[in-house]
Structure 1
């Protein structure tokens, strides 16, 4: 279990770095061919993307967007599951930020599933 947790942490750290550093290239070998993403929006159910290419395209678009500032908070790792809270900022006002969490399932050194949730009023 300790090796699995370490592998999950390593993948999560590289994933977060791609968004923090605006470097989509860091995502290339982190996404499984059968990856599934469930985005946080649009409400109420978000958009589901299936397959490594679709997931890479979506995350690359977000990671490369320099107008967004992604700040990961302290994550919890439970075997192959990472619970990653974050803050997304796109301006200087209080209304220009959003808090959320990603649940990422990581197997064999690749992300196989990701679900995003946001706090909303």
Structure 2
């Protein structure tokens, strides 16, 4: 049976904006109320298939590490939502040079006001 979500674009957008705020302000505490117990996160590294993190604690630890880093700057470019789904286009910078950055996207899914899936991809 297919799961039908009742999550609206507005709800999903609000959650994605709160998620992004944690990275923009380097405040991982903002992630605390956003991640579901059964969340699954897939990261783009290390090659070739990236890493997979399952459960609230693993996902929270991974995202908190990025959010807390003062050596990097997260720049969201655009957020699209469609019901319980969202795509966040972003740039991550860790230095002043043009080679000190990467662009990517997160494909996200929300259920009951919490993030249940985050799939990250970067341009290689």
The alignment's TM-score, normalised by the length of structure 2, stands at: 0.93
Q: In 2, Cα distance between the equivalents of 1:44 and 1:117?
A: 12
SS of 1:9's equivalent in the other structure is helix
- The structure 1 residue matched to 2:81, chosen from 73, 77, 80, is 77
Q: TM-score, normalised by structure 1?
A: 0.96
Q: Which structure 1 residue ranges, 4+ long, deviate > 6 Å from structure 2?
A: none
Within the candidate set 102, 113, 117, 1:113 is matched to: 117
Unaligned 5+ segments in structure 2 are: none
Helix, strand or coil at the partner of 1:104? strand
Q: Cα distance 1:2–1:55, how it changes in 2: closer, same or farther (>3 A)?
A: closer
Higher helix share: 1
Partner of 1:61: 65
Contact 2:6–2:84 (Cα < 8 Å) also in 1? no
Aligned length: 120
Q: Secondary structure at the match of 1:14?
A: helix
* RMSD (CA atoms): 1.3
